[in-house]
Amino acid sequence: MPSMNAYLDDFGKVTVDVSRNFFGGRSDSFYITGDRGYSTQLLIVGVEDHSSYIRYNLTCPAGLVFGTSYMVRESHGLAVPLEYRMIVNTKQFNDRFFYNGDDLGATYHWTHTDFALWAPTAVSVILRIRNRGTTETYPMTRGDKGVWRRRVIANLKYATYTYIVERNGEIVECIDPYGISSIGNGRESAVIDLDEITKIPDYPLEEITGTDAVIYEASVRDMTSSSITGTKTHGTYLALCEEGTSYEGMPTGLSYLASLGVTHVQLMPVMDFITVDEFHTEQGYNWGYDPMQFITPEGSYSSDPDDPYARVRELRTLVTKMHKAGLRVNLDVVFNHVYNVETSSFHAVLPFYYFRYNSSGFLSNGTYCGNDFASEKPMVRKFILDAVRKIMSIYAIDGMRFDLMGILDTETMNKVRETAQSVKPSAMIYGEGWDMPTILDGARKASINNQDKMPGIGHFNDFFRDMIKGKTSDDQKYVKGYATGDLGLSFGTLSALCGNTLGDPYYRRFDSPEKSINAIETHDNSTAWDKMHACCSNEDRNIRAKRLKIMIACTMVAQGVPFIHAGFEFGGTKADNSNSYNAGDNINQMDWRRAVYKKELVEYTKKAITLRRKYRGFRLHFSRQIEKYVRLSVAEGGGIFYEITCSDPGNDSQVLRVIINPGFDDRWYNFEPGWRIAFNENGDEEPGEVSKVRVPGLSLIVCVR
């Protein structure tokens, strides 16, 4: 550590750490000095001995002026800047500096552009603008609530800019936290004329949300990175915009997505991330869960990363193309951490505010990424809400999936839902509600344990996943689920099939089926097929394909919201790589050859999706409906009967009966007259009525009456 550090940790409280390498860490007195000869002594009220330093707790005048530079001098003559630290996390600070305006960032007009930056502890801020080959700097003026402003009279439609911020005794240059776009690798933020973007025509779709949705997760890069995709370019927004592409008769890219029958495509992160060189994408690969700019689209997916308009225009174009194809678009957003605190614009503008710290000033690490975004702080929450509003409005987005949502707080997530639905009433909000070990009271975490505090917000249901497929972590890859051979889980599977909304004797987890996001496989961990390499290693591919069909069908007939990860529908493999976030295109690209080879599975998935969307009984919206209409039981040999009595005049049906046979031998059941088979082991509807039903081994069938 340096010889000495001095921190303003509260109104009237200074903490000084003196290294033992400097006079043994001992100092008899401390003074605070400021502009125009200001000086006053600090009173020592406590001393703490630590192994490498001595900490002095001091009192200071409570009326220190924010925006002023102060130094702390000790008795041997050493002076260091007074850093604003834990004071920025106090209620008094938030009450004094909370700013509720909607003008932060750069607001473009053809005659001028207004710049606004919230930086309450900054001593000075200079705006540096590059425009048409020239560079100019403009001092900004501090205003109310710690907002620095500058209006530049010029047409800055194609200008880029940075902020030069003096704070805590340092001068740093950074991009705009509210930047809408940037040049390559986030070197400078860009002024954007949003009229150029929002004028791209959209194709509004019928509103679909909750249990009526079928979500398909895909990566922009992975969907077209394979050379056999048939697109002109690969791995970009525009490549995924191309229509009519195919491989050996099977549609690829956008056409493939449109052919499946899903309602929503969830794009893995498309907001700017840091670990791929935007100019040399072939040299690196990453899914993008390492955010740099939260509102700026990723440049490695654009046709020209150094053109700030390209990435914005092309992402908007991709969304409108998907809308035209009948697909709604949800974005996977990563508001829980940044790649590196020290290099982030948030830390540059206001150190110690945007992230969680413990009482000793160390970063909370509940994300296991080195930092946790402090969503509970008023201006952090405001930033998230502003970002959600801007992203939804600019790109006509239909919903958001929150990565590590359990890091955020329930109040923020409720306001996120309100904000998103104020832009688009049908907006879906859901995320990973894992209970992460962040420094936040458990009752405030947006975790699955607090689902009752977050109406209308979905959570990935790991119980559903683990019951049906089996445990998914590397150390449990041999553990079987119901569909992979553990028939002892048949009763637990009943709870999963009802979206964990029924009480005793079932396991109740959610107060609404719309909160249960039912995913057998996501981008994380091994694929379902690779999982079976371990837990079903003694079985041939044909048997494993039958097991995969049960998983696919369970996902579609279960109450809740079905979720498919790209490739799940044809037994995709990542060569047993359980964490392929940076494994490259060869591992992660859509394997169109495999899709063609396993075409039967793809067609089966389409039929299962069609079944779900046809019969409303699989899409009940309320727990009380499930309690009233659903009956569950375990049959001989671990089989399952799942019956839904729900009038559906449009399909001339009153009752749906799902039967799962997890054993190898066929089962026969005698039914009363009037039943017909709507979905057999191949996903086909059979003609005529039946009174005796055969359920082949390792299959799921659906009967209707």
435-471 tens-digit pLDDT: 999 999 999 999 999 999 999 999 999 999 999 999 9
* pLDDT score at 648: 86
Compute the distance between CA of residue 17 and CA of residue 4 in angstroms, rounded to an integer. Answer: 6
- Please say whether the beta carbons of 97 and 141 come within 8 A: no
Q: Note if the bond before 505 is cis, omega within 30 degrees.
A: yes
pLDDT over threshold 90, residue 352: yes
For residue 566, give Cα distances in angstroms to 148, 216, 247, 303. 45, 7, 17, 24
* pLDDT score at 475: 93
What would the 3-class secondary structure string for 70-89 be? Answer: CEEEECCCCEEEEEECHHHH
Is 342 one of the annotated active-site residues of the chain?
Answer: no
Nearest to 624 by CA among 529, 503, 507: 503
Break the chain into its structural domains and give their ranges: 4-84, 94-174, 335-460, 626-704
Q: Does domain 626-704 have CATH number 3.90.1150.10?
A: no
* pLDDT score at 179: 98
Name 611's Cβ contacts closer than 8 Å, sequence gap at least 6.
556, 557, 618, 678, 679, 683, 702
Catalytic one among 432, 466, 521, 530?
Answer: 432
Compute the distance between CA of residue 347 and CA of residue 177 in angstroms, rounded to an integer. Answer: 10
* pLDDT score at 384: 98
pLDDT over threshold 90, residue 123: yes
510-543 tens-digit pLDDT: 999 999 999 999 999 999 999 999 999 999 999 9
Structural tokens at position 549: 């069909």
What confidence category does residue 414 fall into, taking pLDDT thresholds of 50, 70 and 90? Answer: very high
Report the chain's C-alpha Rg in angstroms. Answer: 29
Tally of CA atoms within 13 A in the half-sphere of 247 that contains its CB: 21
Tally of CA atoms within 13 A in the half-sphere of 114 that contains its CB: 9
Report the sign of the C-alpha dihedral through residues 267, 611, 420, 198, in that order.
Answer: positive
For residue 276, give Cα distances in angstroms to 143, 199, 268, 283. 38, 30, 15, 8
Which residue type is seen at 94?
Answer: N
Q: Which residues pair with 151 in a beta bridge?
A: 114
Nearest to 281 by CA among 591, 582, 592: 582
Name 653's Cβ contacts closer than 8 Å, sequence gap at least 6.
615, 617, 647, 704, 705
Residue 293 CA, distance from chain mean position? 14
- Please say whether the beta carbons of 262 and 216 come within 8 A: yes
Length of the chain: 705
pLDDT over threshold 90, residue 203: yes
Compute the distance between CA of residue 554 and CA of residue 496 in angstroms, rounded to an integer. Answer: 9
Which residue type is seen at 619?
Answer: R
Q: Which residues pair with 196 in a beta bridge?
A: none
Nearest to 535 by CA among 636, 700, 543: 543
Compute the distance between CA of residue 69 and CA of residue 84 in angstroms, rounded to an integer. Answer: 10
pLDDT over threshold 90, residue 360: no
649-659 tens-digit pLDDT: 888 889 999 99
Compute the distance between CA of residue 684 and CA of residue 701 in angstroms, rounded to an integer. Answer: 9
* pLDDT score at 81: 98
Architecture in CATH for domain 94-174: Sandwich (2.60)
Q: What is the mean pLDDT of residues 205-227?
A: 97
Q: What integer best gives the mean pLDDT of the chain?
A: 97
295-328 tens-digit pLDDT: 999 999 999 999 999 999 999 999 999 999 999 9
Q: Which long-range contacts (CB under 8 A, 24 or more apart) does 638-641 make?
A: 638/482, 638/487, 638/488, 638/490, 638/662, 638/663, 639/490, 639/663, 639/667, 639/695, 640/490, 640/493, 640/494, 640/497
Ranges 169-183, 390-404, 621-635, 638-652: which has the least confidence? 638-652
For residue 93, give Cα distances in angstroms to 97, 264, 486. 6, 42, 56
CATH number for the segment(s) 4-84: 2.60.40.2320
140-175 tens-digit pLDDT: 999 999 999 999 999 999 999 999 999 999 999 999
* pLDDT score at 652: 80
pLDDT over threshold 90, residue 369: yes
- Please say whether the beta carbons of 276 and 300 come within 8 A: yes
Is 403 one of the annotated active-site residues of the chain?
Answer: yes
Which residue type is seen at 580?
Answer: S
Structural tokens at position 637: 């040999």
* pLDDT score at 359: 80
Catalytic one among 242, 403, 466, 486?
Answer: 403
Give the alpha-carbon dihedral of 305, 371, 522, 563, to 10 degrees.
-90
Give, rounded to a whole angstrom, the gap between the first and last alpha carbons of the chain: 75
What would the 3-class secondary structure string for 448-499 be? Answer: HHHHHHCCCCEEECHHHHHHHCCCCCHHHCCCCCCCCCCHHHHHHHHHHHCC
Would you call 601 exposed, middle or buried from its count of C-beta atoms within 10 A (0-12, 13-18, 19+)? buried
What would the 3-class secondary structure string for 22-44 be? Answer: CHHHCCCCEEEECHHHCEEEEEE
Same topology for domains 94-174 and 626-704, yes or no?
A: yes
Compute the distance between CA of residue 496 and CA of residue 503 in angstroms, rounded to an integer. Answer: 12
Angle formed by the axes of helices 378-395 and 308-324, to 10°? 60
